[in-house]
Amino acid sequence: MFIRKVLLLIIGVALFGVGFSQTPEDALKNAWFIPNGTARSISIGGAMGSLGGDISSVYTNPAGLGMYKTREVVLTPSFLTNNNKADFRGTNTSGINKSGFQLGTAGVVIGGKINQANNSTAFAITINQLASYNNHFHYSGLNDTTSYSEQYLEELTKDNANVNAALNNYPFSSSLAFITYLIDSVADGNGSLIGYRSLVPVGNGNSVRQEYDEINKGGLYEVSFGFASNEMDKLYLGASINLPLSFYTQDINYRENDPTDNTNNNFDYSELTQHHTLNGAGLNARLGLIYNLQNSLRLGLAIHTPSLMTFTDNLDVSMTTNTENYAGTQTVKSSDFPDAASQTRYNETTPYRIIASASYVLHEVENVKMQKGFIAGDIEFVNYRGSRFSAEGDNNDGSLTDYYNSLNDVIKSYYKGAFNFRLGGELKFSPFAIRLGGAYYGSPYKDKNLKANRILAAGGLGYRNQGFFIDLTIAETFNKDVNFPYRLTDEPNTFAQLKNSRTNVLLTFGVKF
Partner 1 sequence: MKKNIIYFICVALFLTSCSTYRSSQTPDDVYYSPAKKVVPADQYDEYQSYTSSSDDDYLRMKVADHYRWSNLDDFDYWYDSRYYYNNYYSYYNPWNTYYSPWGVSLAYNFYNPYTSFWYSPWNSVYCPAYTVVYYKNPSVYYGTRTANSYHLSTYSNHNYNNTNMPMRNGSRSNVYINGNSSRRNDNYIINQNRNNSNPVRLFNNNNNSNSNFNSGSSHNMSSGGSSGGGMSRAPRGGH
Site for partner 1 in 103-162 (CB under 8 A): 108, 110-115, 117, 120-123, 125, 127, 141-147, 149-151, 153-160, 162
CB burial of 245-272 (b: ≥16 within 10 Å; e: otherwise) equals bbbbbbebebbbbbeeeeeebbbbbbbb
Q: Does 229 bind partner 1 (CB under 8 A)?
A: yes
Query: What pairing do the DSSP bridges indicate for beta strands 353-362 and 208-231?
Result: unpaired
Contacts to partner 1 from residues 284-303, by CB under 8 A: none
Report yes or no: 463 and 470 within 8 Å, Cβ to Cβ.
Answer: yes
SS (H, E, C) 84-102: EEEEECCEEEEEEEEEEEE
Residue of the chain from 333, 480, 487, 499 that contacts partner 1 (CB under 8 A): 487
Report how far apart, in Å, the C-alpha atoms of 247 and of each of 170, 313, 453, 511 are.
27, 10, 23, 30
Residue 132 CA to residue 401 CA, distance in Å, equals 31
User: What CA–CA distance (Å, rounded) separates 190 from 386?
Assistant: 51
Q: In the set 56, 473, 494, 504, which binds partner 1 (CB under 8 A)? A: 494
6 binds partner 1 (CB under 8 A): no
How many residues line the site for partner 1 (CB under 8 A)? 178
Please identify, using beta-carbon distances, which residue of 182 and 355 lies nearer to partner 1: 182
Q: Which is nearer to partner 1, 114 or 419 (CB)?
A: 114
Site for partner 1 in 370-389 (CB under 8 A): 370-371, 374
Closest to partner 1 by CB, 153 vs 475, is 153
Q: Which of 121, 254, 120, 261 is nearest to 176 (CA)?
A: 254
**CA gap 314, 303 in Å, rounded:** 33
Give the SS3 label for residue 112: strand
Of residues 263, 413, 419, 429, which one binds partner 1 by CB under 8 A? 413
Task: Using CB atoms within 10 Å of the CB of residue 204, give its burial: 0 to 12 exposed, 13 to 18 middle, 19+ buried.
Answer: exposed
The piece of 30-38, 194-202, 299-307, 380-388 that touches partner 1 (CB under 8 A) is: 194-202
The yes or no reply on residue 216 touching partner 1 (CB under 8 A) is no
H or E segment to which residue 7 belongs: helix 2-15
Q: Which residues contact 275 (CB under 8 A, 6 or more apart)?
A: 249, 250, 251, 315, 316, 317
Asked if 259 touches partner 1 (CB under 8 A), the answer is no
- Which of residues 147 and 350 has its CB atom nearest to partner 1 in the complex? 147
Of 429 and 440, CB closest to partner 1: 429
Shortest Cβ 230–partner 1 spacing (Å): 9
Q: CA-CA distance, 332 to 317, in Å (whole number)?
A: 9
What is the smallest separation between the CB atom of 87 and partner 1, expressed in angstroms? 8
| Pick 408 or 500: Cβ nearer partner 1 | 408
What's the CA gap between 456 and 459, in Å, rounded? 10
Q: Which is nearer to partner 1, 354 or 470 (CB)?
A: 470
Question: Smaller CB distance to partner 1: residue 308 or 379?
Answer: 308
Query: What minimum distance in Å lies between the beta carbon of 306 and partner 1?
Result: 18
Burial of 392: CB neighbours in 10 Å, binned 0-12, 13-18, 19+: middle
Q: Which of 89, 217, 275, 480 binds partner 1 (CB under 8 A)?
A: 89
The torsion angle over the Cα atoms of residues 142, 148, 154 and 157, rounded to 10 degrees, is -110
Q: How far is the CB of 404 from partner 1 (least distance, A)?
A: 7
d(CA 386, CA 412): 7
| Residues between 347 and 366 that touch partner 1 (CB under 8 A) | 361, 363-366
Nearest distance in Å: CB 288, partner 1? 15
- Look at residues 133, 44, 248, 217 and name the one whose alpha carbon lies nearest to residue 479: 133
| Distance between CA atoms of residues 81 and 486, nearest Å | 28
167 or 301: CB nearest partner 1:
167
Residue 53 CB, shortest distance to partner 1, in Å, is 4
The residue within the footprint of partner 1, chosen from 232, 262, 345, 429 (CB under 8 A), is: 345
234 binds partner 1 (CB under 8 A): no
CB of 355 to partner 1, least distance (A): 18
Find the shortest distance in angstroms from Cβ 421 to partner 1. Answer: 21
The answer to the question of residue 269 lying near partner 1 (CB under 8 A) is no
Smaller CB separation from partner 1, 355 or 411: 411
Within residues 24-83, the interface with partner 1 by CB under 8 A covers 24, 51-54, 67-73, 75, 77
Chosen residue from 81, 85, 165, 501 binding partner 1 by CB under 8 A: 165
In angstroms, the CA 338 to CA 217 distance is 29
